[in-house]
Amino acid sequence: MDLRKDKKKDMLCTAVALAAMFIVLLVMELTMKSTSILFTVMKKGVIYALVAVSMNLLNGFTGLFSLGQAGFMLIGAYTYSILSMPVSVKMGESVYKYYDCAIGIELGIFPSLILAGVIAAVFAALIGLPVLRLKSDYLAIATLGFAEILRALFQWDAMGPVTNGANVLRQYKDLTKVKIPFTNIQFPPTLFCFLVSGICIAIIVLLINSSYGRAFKAIRDDEIAAEAMGINLFKHKEMSFVISSFFAGISGAMLAMFQYTVQAAQFKTAMTYEILLIVVIGGIGSVTGSCIASFLFIACNEWWLRFLDESSNNILGLNILRSGFRKVVFSIIIMIIVLFFSKGIMGDREFSWARIRAFFARFKKKAAASEGGEPNV
């Protein structure tokens, strides 16, 4: 009985915290300059949080070591930008310079976003058929290979009428084109990113805590036992792969919205590695960990360590600090985490109110003990 009450209380706490977060965000966006680096970091951070969580669903919860995330983001980004690009732009010379665009339709932001996920999921379903039979590192290298093949495919001349070849796509509906429904007022872009990512992550969390999520974990823990208990390995792996790719596709689409331009060359294996490192830093098997880590990662990469790149701040007259030093320091930090804190920030635990309560309870007890002399143990 008590447990159920606690659960209700926790849900209330979460709802209040989320609402507060969104309100703070809204206030910030209305009062602060929109070009502030803070917003850039938050937008990119939340987009990476979504793709990191989607990768965690595969790597952390289903135990499938897949390295294809960049490929599915690529599909999402391209699907979104091609579908949402106004027909007038497609027919003009400004984007499709060397090709006649073959896609004569233009969709709104939401249909394009959803389709970005769907197309990524369809590709995942096809790729999953052969590769999900492979184990651990072979699966990793095969998914990585497929991501590279996809990149080559999207840059192929023959695909030019659809993908514009290796050239840049732009002038599609980016973040500034999001309007509040039924009005012509711009939707606060950071809030939009948080809303879309938040909903997607919430769906993944619901999935993880459902019967299917438990089946995924069973496969991760012991495939043979899972199979013997009636869990169809292939079906569940494929499901996890497809769902993960769906959300990777959506995050790719959001990345396209955020960046204003899209080019296949960007979605290299290095990108997948970055996402993997975010998952590792956050803790493999922890959704909250992935979210926290992606903000830290993006903030360090784009903001906090920027000063290391400025050659004016020299130490001892040596020209150590110059462009690129930030990345060196950053990758050393990552190596230290990988080697010495291999559980990451959260391990495989999640944020929970119960733990926070326990923490404060302990804190109180300690305080009481130090005041009242001998603790009663």
Partner 1 sequence: MSFLQNSLPYILAGISVGGQYALIAIGYTMVYGILRLINFAHGDVFMAAGMFMVFLSASLPLGAAVPLVLVLTVLLGFMIERVAYKPLRSAPRMSVMISAIGVSYLLQNCALYFTGGLAKVYPQLPWLSDTVTIFGAVTKRVTLITPILTLILVIGLSLFIKYTKVGMAMRAVSKDFETARLMGIKVNSVISSTFIIGSLLAAVGSLLYFTNYASVTPTSGGMPGLKCFVAAVFGGIGSIPGAVIGAFIIGICENIIKGLGWTTFSDAFTFALLIVILLVKPTGLFGEKATDKV
Partner 2 sequence: MSDSVLRMEDVTMQFGGVVAVNNLSLEVNRGEIVALIGPNGAGKTTAFNCITGVYEPTNGQVFYEDKLIVANHPSGKMKKAYQGMNSEKYIHVKPIDPTPDQITKLGIARTFQNIRLWKSMTVFENVLTAKHMRARQNVFSATFRLNAAEEHRMHEETLALLEEQNLLQFKDDLATSLPYGLQRRLEIARALATEPKLLLLDEPAAGMNPQETEDLGQFIVQIKEKYDLTIFMIEHHMDLVMRFSDRIYVIDFGKLIAKGTPAEIQANPKVIEAYLGVADDE
What is the binding site for partner 2 (CB under 8 A)? 203, 206-207, 210-212, 214-215, 217-218, 220-222, 224-234, 239, 243, 285, 348
Q: What is the DSSP string of 10-74?
A: HHHHHHHHHHHHHHHHHHHHHHS-TT-HHHHHHHHHHHHHHHHHHHHIIIIII------HHHHHH
Quick one: which of 137, 313, 367, 369 contacts partner 1 (CB under 8 A)? 137
Task: Output 249 or 285, the one with its CB closest to partner 2.
Answer: 285
Give, as ranges, the residues between 280 and 299 that touch partner 1 (CB under 8 A): 280, 284
User: Judged by CB, which is closer to partner 1: 65, or 353?
Assistant: 65
Residue number with CB closer to partner 1 (113 or 346): 346
Residue 133: which of partner 2, partner 1, none does it interact with, CB under 5 to 8 A by kind?
A: partner 1
What is the spatial distance between Cα 197 and Cα 187, in angstroms, rounded to a whole number?
A: 15
The DSSP output letter for 302 is I
Smallest separation (angstroms) from partner 2 to the CB of 80: 24
Supply φ then ψ for residue 318, to 5 degrees.
Answer: -90, 145
The secondary structure of residue 307, as a DSSP letter, is G
The binder of 212, among partner 1, partner 2, none, by C-beta within 5 to 8 A per type, is: partner 2
Q: What backbone torsions phi and psi does residue 179 show, to the nearest 5 degrees?
A: -110, 155
User: Is residue 138 part of the contact set for partner 1 (CB under 8 A)?
Assistant: yes
Q: Binding to partner 1 by residue 314, rule CB under 8 A?
A: no
Classified as helix, coil or strand, 103 is coil
The 225-244 contact track toward partner 1, x by CB under 8 A, reads --------------------
Interface with partner 1, residue 318, by CB under 8 A: no
Question: What's the rounded Cα separation, in Å, for the pair 256 and 18?
Answer: 26
Please enumerate in sequence order all residues whose Cβ is within 8 A of that of 170, keeping only pairs 6 or more positions apart, or say none.
81, 95, 260, 261, 262
Q: Return the structure tokens found at 285.
A: 């098997």
Per-residue string for binding with partner 1, 324-343, x by CB under 8 A?
xx-xx-xxx-xx--xx--x-
Per-residue exposure over 283-305, b if at least 16 CB sit within 10 Å of its own CB, e if not: bbbbbbbbbbbbbbbbbbbeeeb
Interacting residues toward partner 1 by CB under 8 A: 59, 65, 130-131, 133-134, 136-138, 140-142, 144-146, 148-149, 151-153, 155-157, 166, 224, 268-270, 273-274, 276-277, 280, 284, 322-325, 327-328, 330-332, 334-335, 338-339, 342
